[in-house]
Structure 1
């Protein structure tokens, strides 16, 4: 009888230990997800001006010989010699010259957050 009782206690101890580990892992996963989402959002917003400048959308205008210049040239040819207001080239040039608007910051942050969450999910799949 004592052996059976010890077996039950041992089994219950194992179950309790596993539950504690599961709860701790669940909290760690939530914290990791929050960090990944926040990091993705902040990183995207912080790096957007750098990326715009790197492709040629600068505060002084479109840099000669850059990718932005080729985009502007293609847009102008497609539209009979001018860049249409509200086109992608116009929006990117505006962001490069004046910075991101509130709506653009929210959009870039949302995309960055989604990317952070996706990378966290991918890392969890790879780790298993």
Structure 2
């Protein structure tokens, strides 16, 4: 098993990164990068998001990683994800 600090840092950062992208414990945050990913996946798949797809796996990971955070922290991270998605939508 790797004992490098980068592995531990990745585990600690996962909830923040997933939440900032819009993958929250309550679902995908409206207007976020995750919402854009979900929309694209649904369009490509005929209206639904396929089980096991990247979006489905990240949403599952987001729910599990956020489970340890408080409701307020989850909402704050989700809000950051929505804001980041909005800003990104201005450029793409």
2:41 to 61, 68, 75: 75
Q: 2:13 aligns with which of 47, 50, 58?
A: 47
Q: Which has the higher helix share?
A: 1
Structure 1 runs of 4+ with >4 Å offset:
none
Structure 1, unaligned runs of 5 or more: 1-33, 101-128
Aligned to 1:4: none
The structure with the larger Rg is 1
Per the alignment, residue 97 of structure 1 pairs with: 63
2:25 to 35, 59, 63: 59
Structure scoring higher RCO (CA < 8 A, sep ≥ 6) equals: 2
User: Tell me, what secondary structure is at the counterpart of 1:51?
Assistant: helix
Q: TM-score, normalised by structure 1?
A: 0.48
Unaligned 5+ runs, structure 2: 67-92
